[in-house]
Structure 1
Amino acid sequence: MEETGPARNDSQSIDGHVKADRKKRGRKVSRDVEMDIDYLHKAVPQLSKVFRITDKIGEGTFSSVYLGEAQLMDGKREKFALKHLIPTSHPVRIAAELQCLTVAGGRENVMGVTYCFRKDDHVVIVMPYMKHQPFVDILGSLSFEEVRLYIYHLLKALRHIHQFGIIHRDIKPTNFLYNRQEKTFALVDFGLAQGTVDTQIELLKELSGLCRTPRAVFGERNLNSCTPAPAKSADTKIELVKPSKTEDPATRAFVSVIRHPLSTRTPASSQKQPRTPAVNLGLTCNCYMTDRVCNVCMSRKQQVAPRAGTPGFRAPEVLTKCPNQGTAIDIWSAGVILLSLLTGRYPFFKANDDLIALAQIMTIRGSRETTQAAKEFGKAVMCSCELPRQDLRTLCETLRGRSSPDDEAMPLHPPNIDIANPQEPPTEEPGGRNAEENVPEPQDEGGWDQVPEEAYDLLDRLLDLNPATRITAQQALHHPLFTGF
């Protein structure tokens, strides 16, 4: 990819070309966008030799995306998406995202990478530009056949990256682009990707070991704040330091919410606490269901539990901070997308707090079922009342048939729930933005009056509460719903 004309090194020349191009297109951008584009040109000056940046088309927690045009060697002009990563992103994280795009991208509905620019701590990833419509704008007009096509191609992309041992971790409509006219799709944004134990992406292995320091399960550690350990020289002295008896800050924060002093014994004169039998799998101990914490719980090994992702699309095992998470979390997110497609409600779940999000899931999948599933992957969940499991067809048809566009996307009044491993209030995670609004109700046309039972069966299997039995992308592509594809 080369520029055939003279190099545009002069900032005034660049600005003039960009403004003329916008005038020709009738495009108007805000002053803030113009300032961002100017900043990008100054931060990575070599971009101006190849691209004419005309607009800012996306912005996330750790990056901004710009629309640029380049003149190819044959004289044609082609559009590209330029993803500018924030300077504080960890180098290994950036390299891992690039490797995901290079190894798995460019086929099977997964976005590829064309080029990469770097200037000091600024990195710009160049990708093919794909024209698409925002999910929120087209949801109300999609036919059922389009929904079937959309979810099929999403599962196709997931099967492809899962074969490489890539866990995307942020599957949502804004990361799965859809060109409605050309019927093309593209899975984007591997900025939060992690690897499975057998991943083929070498840098994902290094990334998983980068922050493997013991820490409490009080939210995921931000990789952008990680600093590599300094290399040890041959003459470096290693000293053994006796552990201090000072309490860990996380422990103190937890202890402060306990009403009574920590103790494993009570004086004979005091009233004995009622004891509840412990359940299997080592989930509880002798302080289970009481208002105190025993030494057994206090001495438990700290867990590493990723929570990255967007609120509303996190799987139950993510919400309960299960340390063993795999590709099944992407499948759950795909199920939430299908739920939005079948109900016409987006976003379907709206909760930034993990416990409220889990309660909302209970109102759909049932409290008893959620508790049992959590037990299977090593978590004890308690709910203040029993919530029945809802029939998915009835739920989807009822929500799709509502006439008031002012209804909440998911008007839930969740009960009080608790998890055996106490947590502090969750913090917002990378990619944890949920600014989409409700959309107009889709009309009862386009095949919506004849949705087959297979659609709800697939939805049920995608939203399996237990990741061990949740359907895989490979299995889902052979589901009867996609017969004839």
Structure 2
Amino acid sequence: MAKARAQSHRQAEQVLVHEDDVKDEEEAQTLDESGDPLEESGRTVDSSDEEIEESVAEDIIRFEDSFVGIDKRYRLINRIGEGTFSTVYKAEDLEYDRFENNWDLDERENKKWTSPQHRRRASKRPHYVAIKKIYVTSSPMRIFNELELLHDLKYSDAVCPLITAFRHLDQVVAVLPYFQHRDFRDYYRDMTIADVRLYFRSLFTALRSVHAQKILHRDVKPTNFLYNPEQARGVLVDFGLAERQGTDWHNCPCTLPANERRSRITNSVWAQTMQPGVQTSSYPKNDVRSSRRANRAGTRGFRAPEVLIKCTQQNTSIDMWAAGVILLTMLSRRFPFFHSADDIDALLELTSIFGKKKMRDISLLHGQVFETNIPSYSDNGHSLEKIILWCTGRTKDEKQKKIEMGDEEKEAVQFLYRLMECDPAKRITAEDALRHPFITKAFEDSEGDDDMVDLIGAEE
């Protein structure tokens, strides 16, 4: 068992991945596909110690047998998460008092509000962590990348920090704080606009911290943001698909000046083969150009248009689009909102909302051509207001009067347009989102909270 704890505090730097294990190998596309959001939500639980299935108990025993010594440091309690690349267990830290634990947010809160006498009594309580067992099918480079990014983000607001990590043979585990949270499906339908503001204030605080270090999370979704509605606090987790901005970048027309981009489009093969007055184009019978390769990692339904169109210079704005999908889910009361089988279906789902014209323009922005002959898709699509009213059963009916949106809901929809902006260059950033009137009202509602005052001060 590789030791990764120092005398005074835990160190993640000592997790070693031998150079001969780190291979520049191309992984199958399926390894970049995170689990189905609906299935994953049901596999992320927050249960008590007693609620443990027999199969889970057997799984814990197998894990303890295969990872020698883990039971000496941690008492595994339950399996609380299961994804494409890892399994997460709730455990009690048996050596908590031997180390500094600056990561323990709950302990810091207790010290802030309790007397010294009660603090000594509280220190005897059990302290829980989340142990993430990373599957051996993950490449060494992927594992190393995740641990390195978690280490770099350990002092970031609303981001789950890395406590330590261990390696035994080919098995690597990461030890993370355990956060009390609720399943997204249990509360999203009941959220008021005020609740929504608080949720996104916490999420954008996390994304601001991540994006400030030029890191793309790439898999923002409800199951990767552990939220506690009672405390109005959440943490961003699972950086298994995250990467630094600029990784494996290749020139994309979306970064060119507008006049140069228009010139390229005018002189392109596509423009020359367009028939006058016809919206469809012909294509070379034998296209000798190499296919475009771009990072498509993420979860179906949460990928931004530029990811689906294979932009080769993706940036942190893809996380803001995913946050927009979460907001659309809350406002429409539908989860998952998008449920495509592949990237083509995903593009068509967006076309049904934003229209064929918008999708053509966005595709050309990235040097691609978008065409569809499906007659049911209109050129201009539908407004997000109309989509939300339809999803919530408020469309006009002959027998009943149409129910209009309230002012707060309209404000939320206008903010949604800033998140679900198809042009990544025009999409709102996490920093600007925290300054947006829709979010700043959450700060106004929490004037007496010291933590909120600190957050406001951090933005000035």
Under a length normalisation based on structure 2, what TM-score does the superposition of the two structures give? 0.69
Closer, same or farther: CA 452–137 of 1 in aligned 2, 3 Å: closer
Q: d(CA) in 1 for partners of 2:157 and 2:228? A: 15
Q: d(CA) in 2 for partners of 1:142 and 1:35? A: 38
Partner of 2:133: 84
Q: d(CA) in 1 for partners of 2:130 and 2:155? A: 14
SS of equivalent to 1:451:
helix
SS of equivalent to 1:56:
strand
- Tell me the percent identity: 37
Q: Which of the residues 210, 224, 227 maps onto 1:178?
A: 227
**Number of equivalences:** 343
Give the drift of 1:306.
1.0
Partner of 1:160: 209
Q: Which of the residues 303, 322, 334 maps onto 2:323?
A: 334
In terms of Rg, which structure is larger? 1
Any residues of structure 2 matched to 1:242-257 within 5 Å, and which? none
Q: Which of the residues 388, 391, 395 maps onto 2:387?
A: 395
Cα deviations by residue, 1:164-206 (Å, 9 ceiling, x for unpaired): 1111111100001101122211000000012112xxxxxxx5x
The answer on 1:42 being equivalent to 2:31 is: no
Give the drift of 1:284.
2.4
Give the drift of 1:29.
2.4
Cα deviations by residue, 1:235-291 (Å, 9 ceiling, x for unpaired): xxxxxxxxxxxxxxxxxxxxxxxxxxxxxxxxxxxxxxxxxxx95263627666666
The answer on 1:323 being equivalent to 2:312 is: yes
| Matched-pair contact (CA < 8 Å) for 1:140–1:344 | yes
| Matched-pair contact (CA < 8 Å) for 1:106–1:113 | no
Q: d(CA) in 2 for partners of 1:481 and 1:75? A: 42
Question: Partner amino acid for 2:127?
Answer: E
Give the drift of 1:102.
1.4
Q: d(CA) in 2 for partners of 1:367 and 1:133? A: 39
Partner of 2:90: 67
Partner of 2:163: 114
Q: d(CA) in 2 for partners of 1:285 and 1:39? A: 61
The answer on 1:30 being equivalent to 2:79 is: no
Any residues of structure 2 matched to 1:365-444 within 5 Å, and which? 365-384=354-373, 385=375, 386-387=377-378, 388-401=380-393
Q: d(CA) in 1 for partners of 2:429 and 2:81? A: 31
Q: d(CA) in 2 for partners of 1:160 and 1:26? A: 33
Higher helix share: 2
Partner of 1:266: none
SS of equivalent to 1:125:
strand
Higher mean C-alpha deviation, range 166-175 or range 284-293: 284-293
Question: Partner amino acid for 1:111?
Answer: C
Give the drift of 1:397.
3.0
Q: Which of the residues 432, 446, 455 maps onto 1:475?
A: 432
| Matched-pair contact (CA < 8 Å) for 2:156–2:210 | no
Question: Partner amino acid for 1:362?
Answer: T
Q: d(CA) in 2 for partners of 1:93 and 1:348? A: 29
Cα deviations by residue, 1:11-45 (Å, 9 ceiling, x for unpaired): xxxxxxxxxxxxxx672422321221112112212
> Aligned Cα RMSD in Å?
2.7
Q: d(CA) in 2 for partners of 1:329 and 1:130? A: 26
Which structure 1 segments of 5+ residues have no match? 3-24, 198-204, 213-277, 404-443
SS of equivalent to 1:109:
coil
Partner of 2:284: 293
Q: d(CA) in 2 for partners of 1:473 and 1:376? A: 23
Give the drift of 1:105.
3.2
Q: d(CA) in 2 for partners of 1:402 and 1:49? A: 58
Partner of 2:142: 93
The answer on 1:280 being equivalent to 2:266 is: yes
Question: Partner amino acid for 2:195?
Answer: E
Question: Partner amino acid for 1:481?
Answer: F
Which structure 2 segments of 5+ residues have no match? 7-47, 98-122, 251-263, 275-279, 396-402, 444-460
| Matched-pair contact (CA < 8 Å) for 1:166–1:195 | yes
SS of equivalent to 1:77:
coil
Partner of 2:335: 346
Q: Which of the residues 454, 460, 466 maps onto 2:411?
A: 454
Partner of 1:195: 244
Closer, same or farther: CA 320–173 of 1 in aligned 2, 3 Å: same
| Matched-pair contact (CA < 8 Å) for 1:69–1:77 | yes
Partner of 1:103: 152
Q: d(CA) in 1 for partners of 2:440 and 2:313? A: 33
Cα deviations by residue, 1:356-398 (Å, 9 ceiling, x for unpaired): 1111111112221121122112111012245233222232233
Cα deviations by residue, 1:79-119 (Å, 9 ceiling, x for unpaired): 11110000122222112111211111343111101111110
Q: d(CA) in 1 for partners of 2:337 and 2:238? A: 22
SS of equivalent to 1:382:
coil
List structure 1 segments (4+ residues) > 4 angstroms apart after TM superposition.
Answer: 285-292
Q: d(CA) in 2 for partners of 1:99 and 1:380? A: 38
Partner of 1:133: 182
| Matched-pair contact (CA < 8 Å) for 1:331–1:462 | yes
Question: Partner amino acid for 1:466?
Answer: D
Partner of 2:80: 57
Closer, same or farther: CA 469–54 of 1 in aligned 2, 3 Å: same
Q: d(CA) in 1 for partners of 2:169 and 2:190? A: 46
Q: d(CA) in 2 for partners of 1:281 and 1:149? A: 49
Q: d(CA) in 1 for partners of 2:369 and 2:323? A: 25
Q: d(CA) in 1 for partners of 2:167 and 2:230? A: 35
Q: d(CA) in 1 for partners of 2:385 and 2:154? A: 36
| Matched-pair contact (CA < 8 Å) for 1:66–1:83 | yes
